[in-house]
Amino acid sequence: MPRAAMSDEEAYTSMAGGPSPPEVLSHITGNAPVWLKEAAVRWYLRLGVLGDTGYGWRMRRRIAIHEVSLEPDLDDPEKLSAKTVTEIEVTPDMCNAQGGLSQGCMSCLIDEGSAISLLLMKLWHGGVDEIGVSQTLNLFFHQVVPRPGDKIKIINRSVATGVDVGCCKSEIWDVKSHKLVVSGAQIQMAPTVKPTRSNL
């Protein structure tokens, strides 16, 4: 029988290895305010709402959020960029038939991680707490892929935010070799609201 989706409290405990949400946040470094760090954790939980019947649930619950920061943009220091840094150990369920981290898994990590960073920047500017819909996702593979037992670091940054369209990017690094494995960027749009009786 499939396990039901974890409650927020259970998921917080699973992600932190500790007894309570404050224990989770105490592990997250960076200069972002607590409420923005909470938003990052909350969205990783929301993306796993289907429990173990949903794609990537086991992988997602092993992701450790290490940093949430607001930093000057790398290309325009007068602008802020939301940055998140996460880590995860590669396990066999994340790998392809050749035993390496699958491209589909890397795509998922980049898609969700960069989208959350973009959302954090929108929230900082007073936007709606609603994740966008991917329009394009471009990936560049640089090195031989990691294998089970290897740790990878995912660095996500917002690039540009707007009312309807935003851009974000990510890099996945092999922690042991200090080599860039894959980089990616995506454009997101605000989700379309389905018509209901209340908004017709």
pLDDT in tens, 97-137: 999 999 999 999 999 999 999 999 999 999 888 888 999 99
Band of pLDDT at residue 21, cut at 50, 70 and 90: low
Query: Quick one: CA dihedral 86, 167, 189, 83, positive or negative?
Result: positive
Percentage of residues in the chain having pLDDT higher than 90: 59
Which among 55-64, 72-81, 158-167, 180-189 has the top mean pLDDT? 180-189
pLDDT at 3 over 80: no
Residue 40 has pLDDT above 80, yes or no: yes
What is the rounded average pLDDT for all residues in the chain?
A: 84
Q: What pTM, to 2 d.p., does this model score?
A: 0.83
**Looking up tokens 């900082």, which residue turns up?**
124
How large a percentage of the chain has pLDDT more than 70? Answer: 84
Q: Which of 56, 148, 161 is nearest to 114 (CA)?
A: 161
- Residue 166's pLDDT band, with cuts at 50, 70 and 90, is very high
- What pLDDT does residue 196 have? 52
Task: Report residue 180 as tokens.
Answer: 């860039």
Contact (Cβ atoms closer than 8 angstroms) between residue 123 and residue 129: yes
Q: Phi and psi (nearest 5°) for 145?
A: -75, 150
CB 92 within 8 A of CB 148: yes
For 140-154, the pLDDT digits (tens) are 999 878 999 999 999
How far apart, in whole angstroms, are the C-alpha atoms of residue 31 and residue 22?
A: 16
Higher-confidence residue: 99 or 56?
99
Domains in the chain, CATH or no CATH each? 8-188 (3.10.129.10)
